[in-house]
Amino acid sequence: MLRIILFLGTNLAIMLVLSVVASIFGLDRWAYNQAGINLQGMLVMCAVFGMGGAFISLALSKTIAKHSVGAQIITQARGADEQWLLDTVGHHARNAGIGMPEVALYDAPEMNAFATGMSRNHALVAVSTGLLRSMDRDQISAVLGHEITHVANGDMVTMALIQGVLNTFVMFLARILGSVIDGSLGDRDNNRGGGFGYFIIVMVLQTVLGFLATIIVMWFSRWREFRADAGGAKLGSRAGMIAALQTLAGNHGPSVLPKAVQAFGISGDSGVARLFMSHPPIEERIAALRNAA
């Protein structure tokens, strides 16, 4: 259930780079006119950069995921376990109506798995060695079904769309507020989007607003986990999915997954603030599966 695609960290980095590029090439100034801010032009510029940044993050997600955890793609099974893994992913993918994803293993003591990729038919499903050692095949099959459901539901693309809309409004509001603040500090050039002070204010506001926008992304992530759990129960088995979650409840070891990828995994983040949790509490997920039965 790892599925917030290396996404938030990569997206933030890309947005900062794009904002610097916009300032260097004077695109911020283009969104201003003699009367001040050209709201329509500013919104168009922010939409292009905001949506573009989100989909660049999505396009890079699979490559970044592979390298960040050292995942090794299984091109040819080297034993019975790897062959079973390939066969099970293929079986679930056919039942879910998607193309065969790339299957990978990564060496980590934690029990985790994640899926990511640009589209339903070009995805990656990766499993930790810790999960393979700690769960039986019925549980692992349900976990793989969970990840395949994320792919089949188009969660990665939907996440990119949501992030793109949020990026747009974060950039837009940062520039509007930056212009007002810069003007109140006496910078006469703020009505043309210029000045070093304006640039610094916009970067700070964009970072703060982007952090707050994460609350919405995390809410969507938590909601989709319940759907993916139901998919894991359907493609695998309900008993296997519940047992896998119960096993995960005892998994307190540190995660090797980067924060940007943890939302795309099976094992959620038990952060102090629920608003910033990528996964619902495991007990709530188990209760939802039992109630559905």
- What amino acid positions are annotated as catalytic residues? 147
Judged by DSSP in three states, 277 sits in: coil
DSSP states of 128-150: EHHHHHHS-HHHHHHHHHHHHHH
The beta strands (E) that lie in 74-204 are given as 102-106, 113-117, 123-128
Q: How far apart are CA 114 and CA 5, in angstroms?
A: 9
| E strand map for 28-173 | 32-33, 36-37, 72-73, 102-106, 113-117, 123-128
CA dihedral 279→283→285→287, nearest 10 degrees, is -160
Tokens of 144: 């793989």
Q: How far is CA 104 from CA 44, 47, 163, 210, in A?
A: 40, 35, 27, 32
Q: How far apart are CA 289 and CA 279, in angstroms?
A: 15
d(CA 39, CA 168): 13
The SS3 assignment for 214 reads: helix
- With 0-12 CB in 10 A as exposed, 13-18 as middle and 19+ as buried, what is 269? middle
Neighbours of 133 (CB within 10 A): 9
CB 240 within 8 Å of CB 142: yes
Rounded Cα distance between 187 and 180, Å, is 10
